[in-house]
């Protein structure tokens, strides 16, 4: 037997090895073909991803301005504090957690647990201010802690806090618009982020700069709004006070609307929130309720409260408008020629019965015989029900639609709701009766003010809008928005009659508390029972409102105030009209609308300051206005706790009375100007501008050519603002 391997065996082994080699190379070739050809693009992409690092360059979000160029929202640099846990030394972790929790106001336990994670990136806190970021850097440097960095970020700021917050909205942590204008105009404001793409070496480090490519970010454009910062502040302050005065349970809203263009000059919603910290609940009653809850119940209640305070009640919450809607009923009937100024209507205690259902008047015993103007002034329900029946189902519905109340307004804001109205199939005479007085259907506040503005502003229905223009980072106008006329609903002649009848509401009727001396204001009260909720007997809830507009001869601005579920079931004429009057007393002079005084108002002379301490602020405001004096309210309390000058003080007409609403409000001190040698008007204007009231001392305060010859205190004297300067006047002699 041979000891070696036979030639035959060697041949077989060689053949086997050749086969194995061929098969192996075949598999390898197939594998390479699969990698390079079939899945080449996919593997190339994966390799690129492993070899490249992308760093995003945030785009600067565009600013938001009011119509006068005041910044409402802006973006600025902030920082994100980041940990790289895998590089933090064990002995430094506890110190790190303690320090960051104190500096950043974050949970220490969370930071300590993060420091043990097997990762190179963990965010401690975003949107950190420069000063805080610098404190973090100083802390880690001082304690020689590795693995902590501050990366540049963008943060949104709202300089005016809760100013128009439900309308402006806010941004989320990713700097994207979450609500309001911020969300609606996201594409315009956001811009486009850039990035830096750099190659990495095998250890994960960056390659030299020659392997780096930058794609520049494109900043967002800015918006110029129709909102006027000053008018918005008037709305916010007065609405906040009104909510406190009447313990309003379901929120409140106020809208200032440019009648001739559809521009929104201001939109206020209460309760509101600070868009700098939108998650924080601000309503005191809600906070008190939350304090009683725990666990899931608490979490759910917080979320509901947040959504509620972010909601824009003026455009998202339809409500029954009540008697304010009678302006639309009146306009429709006048346009159709069904009624005219010569008509007389009867109103008795029996009311009016339609198909077995009786609607009575709010006034016990009724109003008796009334003219058309008087039923508007008295807001007489039976008379308006009869007018509605005269208009008829079809025509009434036609005008309801023509005034834009069956569709959304098209305003450039998110979340707009439409009306809730009777369908054709169920709209009969009973539904017509309730609709004619503003009950049994719902519209939004914006729908209503738009429709009424058309009824009193020449008959022209405009599309409401809130953005005037878009501008780039250089201040160049990219796009400009113009008023959009939807249609003319009624004639200018009819509209003029409607406006003049609404003036009677303020001068002679239920809206007297909205009167501002020197101005022709029209309006309509609204007291709407909320019929869609089942309340216990005696616990009915109401939405009380007043819509005012001015001036009557050429309407420019309309203001709607709605107080939803005030504590006392009163009338819109009692609690809402004074709020609109107070707003109008500030807004009309601000807009440069000249007063048109009656002879009595125009005559020079003195007035006595009324005693308003202890009164609700808006009631006091009306009392002072009706004494031919102007008002300055300090604070946002519900009642007057102090007044300057004191009650009974004699001052010249149109002097300013300061009403303090909170204890401890500081009294400013000023310097009395020298008015000797000036006439009555100029002396009063100079003293008023300096914060003082004036008392006229003269034999005949209404005489012509009066000139100041002495004053007490003298010029350049320090005096608390609001106090009285007695000025002695004499008739100017011809040679003077």
- The number of beta carbons lying within 10 Å of the beta carbon of residue 227 is 30
Rounded to a whole number of angstroms, the distance between the first and last alpha carbons of the chain is 157
Domain boundaries defined on the chain: 55-225, 229-316, 322-590, 599-731
Which tokens is 45 given?
A: 């992409």
Q: What is the pLDDT of residues 458-471, one digit of tens each?
A: 999 999 999 999 99
3-state helix, strand, coil in the chain (%, to 5): 35, 25, 40
CA–CA distance, 87 with 149 (Å, rounded to integer): 12
Concatenated DSSP letters for 250-317? S-EEEEEEETTT-BEEEEEEES---TTSTTS---HHHHHHHTT--HHHHHHHHHHHHHHHHS-HHHH-
Per-residue pLDDT at 199: 54
- Span 186-200, mean pLDDT? 72
Per-residue pLDDT at 84: 85
On whether the CB atoms of residues 169 and 412 are closer than 8 A, the answer is no
- The number of beta carbons lying within 10 Å of the beta carbon of residue 78 is 20
Architecture of the domain spanning 599-731? 2-Layer Sandwich (3.30)
Residue 321 is classified by DSSP as -
CA–CA distance, 369 with 346 (Å, rounded to integer): 4
Per-residue pLDDT at 93: 83
CA–CA distance, 321 with 451 (Å, rounded to integer): 12
- Span 33-41, mean pLDDT? 62
Higher pLDDT, 113 or 397: 397
Omega into 223 within 30° of 0, i.e. cis? no
Instruction: Please list the active-site residues.
Output: 323
Per-residue pLDDT at 529: 87
Mean pLDDT estimate for the chain: 88
CA 620 remoteness from chain centre: 26
Angle at 295 between CA 293 and CA 297, to 5 degrees: 60
Task: Inform me whether the pLDDT recorded for 157 exceeds 60.
Answer: yes
Angstrom distances, CA of residue 585 to CA of 67, 327, 553, 689: 21, 23, 18, 17
- Span 345-360, mean pLDDT? 88
Which residue carries 């998110």 as its tokens? 414
Q: What is the pLDDT of residues 270-316, one digit of tens each?
A: 999 999 999 999 888 888 888 888 888 999 999 999 999 999 999 99
Which tokens is 169 given?
A: 């909205």
CA–CA distance, 605 with 609 (Å, rounded to integer): 13
On whether the CB atoms of residues 315 and 341 are closer than 8 A, the answer is no
Residue 326 is classified by DSSP as H
Q: What percent of the chain lies above the pLDDT cut of 70?
A: 90
- Span 442-456, mean pLDDT? 98
Q: Which residues of 477-508 are buried (b: 16+ CB within 10 A; e: fewer)?
A: eeeeeeeeebeebbeeebbbbbbbbbbbbbee
Q: What is the pLDDT of residues 700-720, one digit of tens each?
A: 888 888 999 999 999 999 998
Q: What is the pLDDT of residues 692-701, one digit of tens each?
A: 999 999 988 8
Q: Which of 241, 249, 245, 237 lies closest to 566, judged by CA?
A: 249
Q: What is the pLDDT of residues 488-539, one digit of tens each?
A: 999 999 999 999 999 999 999 999 999 999 999 999 999 998 877 656 666 7
Higher pLDDT, 97 or 181: 181
The dihedral of CA 573, 578, 583, 586: what is its sign?
positive
CA–CA distance, 263 with 261 (Å, rounded to integer): 5
For 55-225, CATH number out of 3.40.50.150, 3.40.390.10, 1.10.3720.10, 3.90.1310.10 equals: 3.90.1310.10
- Three-state SS for 37-101 is HHCHHHHHHHHHHHHEEEEEECCCCCCEECCCCCEEEEEEEEEEEEECHHHCCHHHHHHHHHHHH
Q: What is the dihedral of CA 647, 652, 654, 656, to 10 degrees?
A: -50
Architecture of the domain spanning 322-590? 3-Layer(aba) Sandwich (3.40)
The strand pair at 352-354 and 357-359 is best described as antiparallel
- Span 417-425, mean pLDDT? 91
Omega into 551 within 30° of 0, i.e. cis? yes
Per-residue pLDDT at 111: 83
Which tokens is 602 given?
A: 């125009």
Task: Inform me whether the pLDDT recorded for 77 exceeds 80.
Answer: no
CA–CA distance, 48 with 198 (Å, rounded to integer): 11
Q: Say how many CA atoms lie within 13 Å of 5 toward its Cβ.
A: 7
Per-residue pLDDT at 27: 67
For the whole prediction, is pTM greater than 0.95?
no
Which residue carries 């008015």 as its tokens? 675
Q: What is the pLDDT of residues 237-274, one digit of tens each?
A: 999 999 999 999 999 999 999 999 999 999 999 999 99
């Amino acid at each position: 037997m041979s000891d070696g391997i036979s030639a035959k065996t060697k041949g077989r082994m060689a053949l086997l090895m050749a086969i194995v080699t061929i098969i192996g190379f075949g598999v390898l070739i197939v594998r390479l073909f699969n990698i390079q050809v079939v899945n080449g693009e996919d593997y190339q992409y994966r390799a690129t991803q492993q070899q490249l690092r992308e760093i995003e360059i945030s785009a600067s979000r565009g600013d938001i301005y009011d119509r006068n160029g005041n910044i409402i929202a802006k973006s600025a640099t902030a920082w994100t504090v980041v940990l790289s846990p895998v590089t933090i030394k064990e002995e430094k972790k506890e110190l790190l957690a303690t320090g960051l929790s104190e500096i950043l106001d974050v949970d220490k336990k969370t930071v300590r647990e993060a420091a043990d994670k097997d990762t190179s990136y963990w965010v401690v806190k975003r949107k950190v201010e420069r000063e805080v970021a610098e404190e973090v850097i100083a802390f880690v440097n001082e304690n020689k802690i590795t693995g902590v960095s501050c990366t540049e970020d963008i943060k949104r700021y709202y300089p005016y806090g809760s100013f128009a917050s439900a309308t402006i909205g806010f941004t989320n942590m990713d700097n994207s618009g979450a609500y309001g204008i911020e969300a609606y105009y996201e594409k315009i404001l956001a811009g486009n982020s850039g990035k830096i793409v750099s190659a990495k070496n095998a250890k994960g480090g960056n390659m030299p700069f020659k392997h780096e490519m930058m794609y520049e970010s494109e900043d967002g454009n800015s918006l110029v709004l129709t909102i006027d910062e000053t008018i918005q502040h008037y709305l916010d302050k007065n609405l906040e006070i009104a909510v406190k005065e009447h313990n309003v349970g379901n929120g409140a809203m106020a809208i200032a609307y440019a009648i001739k263009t559809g521009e929104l000059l201001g939109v206020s919603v209460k309760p509101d929130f600070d868009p700098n910290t939108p998650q924080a609940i601000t309503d005191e009653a809600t906070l008190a309720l939350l304090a009683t809850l725990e666990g899931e119940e608490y979490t759910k209640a917080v979320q509901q409260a947040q959504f509620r305070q972010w909601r824009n009640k003026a455009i998202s919450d339809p409500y029954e408008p009540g008697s304010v809607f009678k302006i639309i009923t009146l306009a429709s009937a006048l346009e159709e020629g069904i009624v005219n100024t010569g008509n007389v209507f009867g109103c008795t205690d029996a009311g009016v019965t339609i198909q077995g259902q009786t609607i009575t008047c709010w006034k016990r015993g009724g109003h008796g015989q009334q003219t058309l103007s008087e039923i508007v002034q008295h807001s007489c329900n039976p008379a308006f029900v009869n007018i509605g029946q005269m208009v008829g189902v079809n025509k009434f519905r036609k005008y309801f639609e023509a005034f834009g109340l069956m569709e959304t307004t098209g305003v450039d804001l998110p979340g707009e709701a439409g009306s809730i109205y009777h369908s054709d199939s169920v709209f009969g005479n009973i539904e017509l009766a309730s609709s004619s007085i503003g009950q049994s259907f719902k519209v939004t506040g914006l729908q209503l003010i738009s429709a009424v503005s058309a009824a009193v502003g020449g008959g022209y229905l405009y599309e409401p809008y809130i953005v005037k223009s878009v501008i780039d980072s250089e201040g160049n106008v990219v796009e400009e928005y113009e008023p959009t006329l939807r249609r003319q609903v009624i004639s200018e002649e009819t509209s003029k009659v409607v406006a003049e009848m609404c003036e009677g509401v303020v001068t002679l009727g239920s809206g007297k508390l909205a009167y501002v001396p020197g101005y022709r204001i029209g309006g309509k009260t609204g007291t709407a029972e909320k019929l869609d909720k089942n309340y216990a007997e005696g616990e009915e809830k109401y939405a009380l409102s007043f819509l005012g507009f001015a001036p009557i001869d050429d309407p420019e601005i309309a203001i709607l105030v709605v107080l939803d579920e005030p504590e006392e079931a009163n009338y819109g004429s009692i609690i809402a009209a004074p709020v609109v009057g107070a707003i109008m007393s500030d807004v009309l002079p601000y807009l440069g609308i000249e007063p048109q005084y009656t002879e009595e108002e125009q005559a020079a002379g003195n007035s006595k300051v009324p005693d308003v301490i202890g009164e609700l602020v808006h009631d006091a405001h009306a009392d002072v206005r009706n004494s031919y004096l102007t008002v300055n309210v300090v604070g946002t309390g519900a009642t007057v706790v102090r007044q300057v000058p004191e009650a009974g003080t004699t001052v010249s007409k149109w002097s300013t009375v300061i009403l303090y609403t909170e204890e401890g409000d500081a009294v400013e001190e000023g310097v009395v100007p020298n008015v000797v040698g000036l006439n009555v008007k100029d002396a009063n204007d100079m003293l008023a501008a300096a914060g003082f009231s004036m008392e006229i001392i003269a034999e005949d305060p209404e005489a012509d050519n009066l000139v100041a010859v002495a004053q007490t205190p003298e010029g350049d004297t320090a005096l608390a603002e609001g106090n009285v300067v007695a000025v002695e006047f004499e008739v100017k002699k011809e040679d003077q």
